[in-house]
Amino acid sequence: MNLTLKIWRQKSNTDKGSLETYPISDVSEDMSFLEMLDVLNEELIEKEIEPVAFDHDCREGICGMCSLYINGEAHGPDRRVTTCQLHMRKFNDGDTIFIEPFRANSFPVVKDLVVDRSSFDRIQQAGGYVSVNTSGNTQDANSIPIPKDDADTAFDAATCIGCGACVASCKNSSAMLFVSAKVSQFSLLPQGQVEAKERVINMVNKMDEEGFGNCTNTGACEVECPKGISLDNISRMNREFITANVKK
Amino acid sequence: MSKSTFYTSIGYKVLMALSGLFLMFFLLQHLVINSLSVISPDAFNEASHFMGTNPLVQFLLQPVLIFGVVFHFIMGFFLDLKNRKSRAINYSYNKPSANSSWVSRNMIISGLTVLAFLGIHFIDFWIPEINVKYIQGDMSGMHNGEFRYFHELHEKFAAMPRVIAYVIAFIFLSLHLMHGFQSSFQSVGIATSKTRVAFYKFGNIFAIIVPTGFILIALFHFITQH
């Protein structure tokens, strides 16, 4: 198929940036979206044009590196997939595709479609962990009985890959879905209870400090999340944050 | 709970939700009293006189209500402004309809419409009432030997432009409630995967029944005098 790509080009964080138009032909419907961009970059290099910078790593929907706001949606028009899992069969011959970086003040553009999502790392560092004695006598996690429902819900929350689609999709650039998933994956398990209060308070405070917006419960994050992280996590985090502050 | 707790994104959400829930409760009792004007003018007069002269209602509940309304609107503007600032550069091509409803994204528009309506409503009813009771000092609630409340309400809805304005405002109130009701339970952390659907459905019922009730009352008074 033949396509017209409108791609955001921005030399650096301080550059203004603009949408540039690139026609591309003979795109196979079996290609992934990133493979299509690889082909475009090969063509640009041959023409001695700076290739388009974009984030990618595992290319199998696990690492959360690929981002891209494609035709007005994070990770494109498909559901429960990352951009690397999005295939060109989702588009039609002759389509014009708009490709932009994830936009939020807390995700500054580094170059072209690459954004700095280290704000997520800093939120994780503020409390997204369990302190475990690893000096050789670590207890086997399976020796602690955990209700199946709690284990399943915690695991579902833990599937968040921190890609930032929630922030990109939210009209307020809120990171509540990401933070709530990271809070929930620990708070539902006995190992996470010890630091539960400090965790939720510190992570929420860090989230605010990083400049993310407020959640207004539009639910866009849940729809666009490639891992289907549930809004239940946000409600749980709100509940935990309130009780943690009451019992402080 | 420390003061700083409320100065967080979740603190703001909770305060917005609690003030919203309080205002929804007020709407419900307002509808019940207004409904009396359709069923029995005497009962409406009695209820209005009680609400208008009872010291607990006038000097405790009324200030709390005014505070709740003002707080909800100011907080709404503040949060909307803050949220807009969190994305300095907007998308060139965006498709929000693919993942969220219009009502959930435009609470500020429906809220502003309701605020404009409140201005009309205050000029129509609240300011004249305060004038009669606390400036002229007439707490009797009487006019020409009978209670004035029903006649005042009835006569206000003689003019079609006012009725149209009320209908439009209540349609926007309905849109506001459709998102606001279930959203407030999410914000205070009560909603779970098991209860969310129930809050959503009950919220839609509330958002339809309450504004429709107010619309029907306005239409009743308009029709019965034309």
| d(CA B96, nearest CA chain A) in Å | 7
Residue ranges covered by each domain of chain A = 3-111, 118-246
In the chain, the amino acid numbered B72 is: H
Whether A20 and chain B come into contact, CB under 8 Å, resolves to no
Which chain A residues contact residue B194 at CB under 8 A?
A: none
State which residue of chain B sits closest to A239, comparing Cα positions: B189
State which residue of chain B sits closest to A165, comparing Cα positions: B99
In this model, does residue A138 exceed pLDDT 80?
A: no
Superfamily assignment of A3-111 in CATH?
Answer: Beta-grasp domain (3.10.20.30)
φ/ψ region of B145 (left if φ > 0, alpha if ψ in -120 to 50, else beta) reads left
The predicted-structure confidence for A69-107, as pLDDT tens digits, reads as follows 999 999 999 999 999 999 999 999 999 999 999 999 999
Residue ranges covered by each domain of chain B = 3-81+105-223
Asked: is A118-246 a CATH 3.90.79.10 domain? The reply is no
Name residue B10's beta-bridge partners.
Answer: none
- Residue A107, SS3? coil
Whole-prediction pTM: 0.95
The predicted-structure confidence for A157-202, as pLDDT tens digits, reads as follows 999 999 999 999 999 999 999 999 999 999 999 999 999 999 999 9
State which residue of chain A sits closest to B90, comparing Cα positions: A103
Mean pLDDT of B192-197: 91
Interface test with A, best of B12, B72, B86 (most A CBs within 10 A): B86
The predicted-structure confidence for B8-38, as pLDDT tens digits, reads as follows 999 999 999 999 999 999 999 999 999 999 9
**Residue with tokens 């809070």, as numbered in its chain:** A183
Cβ <8 Å between A105 and B100: no
Surface of A (202-221) touching B: CB under 8 A: 204-205, 207-208, 211-220
Q: How far is CA B96 from CA A169, A221, B91, B132, B226, in A?
A: 8, 11, 11, 50, 45
Count CA within 13 A, CB hemisphere, residue A128.
25
